[in-house]
Amino acid sequence: MAVGTNAPVIIKRKKMVGGDGHHGGAWKVAYADFVTAMMAFFMLMWLLNATTEQQRKGIADYFAPTIPLARVSAGGDGALGGEDVFSRNMQIQSGTGGVGNSDGMPPNETDSLAEFAAMIAGQTGEALFAENELRHIVTSITDEGLVIDIFATPSEPIFVDRTAEPTPILLEILDSVGAAAQMVQNEISVHAHHATQPVVVRDHIVWDVSLARAGQVRQLLEAENIAPKRFVRAVGHADRDPAEFVPTSVRNNRIRIVFLRSDLR
């Protein structure tokens, strides 16, 4: 009989440990990339919800490589402000205060638009709007015409709360608009918008107030020597067309003055 046949068989297995010692680091890099991507995603969602269509277009134009940065602005404040004055081919006619030619022929309408918008933006030697007025103004060119939006700010409203009584800053702005209107003879429409009132407010008077504000602005512009026949409408929109994502934002208290395209008469 062989000796030691009943001895146990010992098998030694070597444990293989992966990673970099006591812990792996690859998952940390992947997790950091995931968190960064989620931050970018939620920031994009926030921008889409917190900005207006005009502001989103301004952001897109700012990052578009084919659009020059040195453009004639239409009165906006930076990338979130007004559109390029050449972005639409709007027809604006020369008035008694505009630049005409001696033989009575109408000037080039594109040049008239550029001059008109540049003066509103304060980019010429004789600015029509003061610096404090421009903080309340955003201009744009639409299919309807040249739009001047006048916004309230948290520190400076344009109307006394819940009334059609204009504040001093609005009177100053309308005085400048009246001077600008002498450059052209286009017809004008006036639109008044009101911020949404909190639910706790008992009397919701946004329709009456917005309509009264539109009429008040029309009368104030007529007092600035704008012919009454140039006004085609004065409309109160209540809180149905907010400019800001938050309906109760004070910037939704605004006046829109449109110098209508000549082919829309």
Q: What three-state secondary structure class fits 69? A: coil
Whole-model pTM?
0.57
A 10 A CB-CB count for 255 gives 26
- Cα dihedral 59, 188, 236, 216 sign: positive
Predicted pLDDT of residue 111: 54
- Computed over its alpha carbons, how large is the radius of gyration of the chain? 31
pLDDT tens sequence across 63-117: 655 433 333 344 444 444 444 433 333 333 333 333 333 333 334 444 565 567 6
Predicted pLDDT of residue 8: 74
- Domains of the chain plus CATH, in order, are 69-264 (3.30.1330.60)
Predicted pLDDT of residue 174: 94
Predicted pLDDT of residue 163: 92
Tokens 């134009």 locate to 61
Beta bridge partners of 20: 23
- To which H or E segment does residue 258 belong? strand 254-260
Pairing of strands 145-151, 188-193: unpaired
223 vs 133, 216, 220, CA distance in Å?
19, 11, 5
Percent of the chain at pLDDT exceeding 70: 65
Q: Closest Cα to residue 184, out of 235, 115, 127?
A: 115
Predicted pLDDT of residue 103: 39
Predicted pLDDT of residue 82: 43
Q: Which residues of the chain have pLDDT under 50?
A: 1, 66-110
For residues 137 and 118, give the distance between their C-alpha atoms in angstroms, rounded to a whole number: 14
